Amino acid sequence: MGLAMKVETATWEGAVLKAKGLVMVDFWAVWCRPCQTIAPTIEELATEYAGKLTVAKLNTDENPDVASRYQIMGIPTLMFFLDGKPIEKIVGAASKQQFKEKIDSLLTV
């Protein structure tokens, strides 16, 4: 993993809920082909938006409690948190440009 940080149940509160600014969480699983397809894009976004956006990855198989708390029904799901509050989500694989448009719109909030 590059700049995207791994989060799990034990680190969720500190890494996401107590974080200042915008956090994008990639809910994924090893067996999920679309998750694997967008993984390099998620890392690229983590690099491109370093200092403006925190990027985290949460394995839903290893942390089902967090996934169910946010009603993650399908993966990949990218969920955005602003100062610890969920504000937006993208369900399913999308293009890098679509992710960037969403991030850019949320950074101007």
pLDDT at position 87 is 97
> In angstroms, rounded to a whole number, what is the distance separating the alpha carbons of residues 62 and 98?
28
CATH number for the domain harbouring residue 20 = 3.40.30.10
Q: Residue 43 sits in which domain range?
A: 5-107
pLDDT at position 12 is 98
**Secondary structure (3-state) at 75:** coil
> In angstroms, rounded to a whole number, what is the distance separating the alpha carbons of residues 48 and 58?
20
**Catalytic residue (choose from 4, 24, 32, 42):** 32
Domain count, the chain: 1
| Structural contact between residues 57 and 3, judged by C-beta atoms closer than 8 angstroms | no
CA–CA distances in Å: residue 66 to residues 27, 77, 109:
10, 13, 26
Give the containing element (helix H, strand E) for 29. none
Active site residue 35: yes
Active site residue 32: yes
**Catalytic residue (choose from 35, 45, 78, 93):** 35
- pLDDT tens-digit series, residues 36-80: 999 999 999 999 999 999 999 999 999 999 999 999 999 999 999
> In angstroms, rounded to a whole number, what is the distance separating the alpha carbons of residues 101 and 48?
13
pLDDT at 92 over 90: yes
| Structural contact between residues 90 and 99, judged by C-beta atoms closer than 8 angstroms | yes
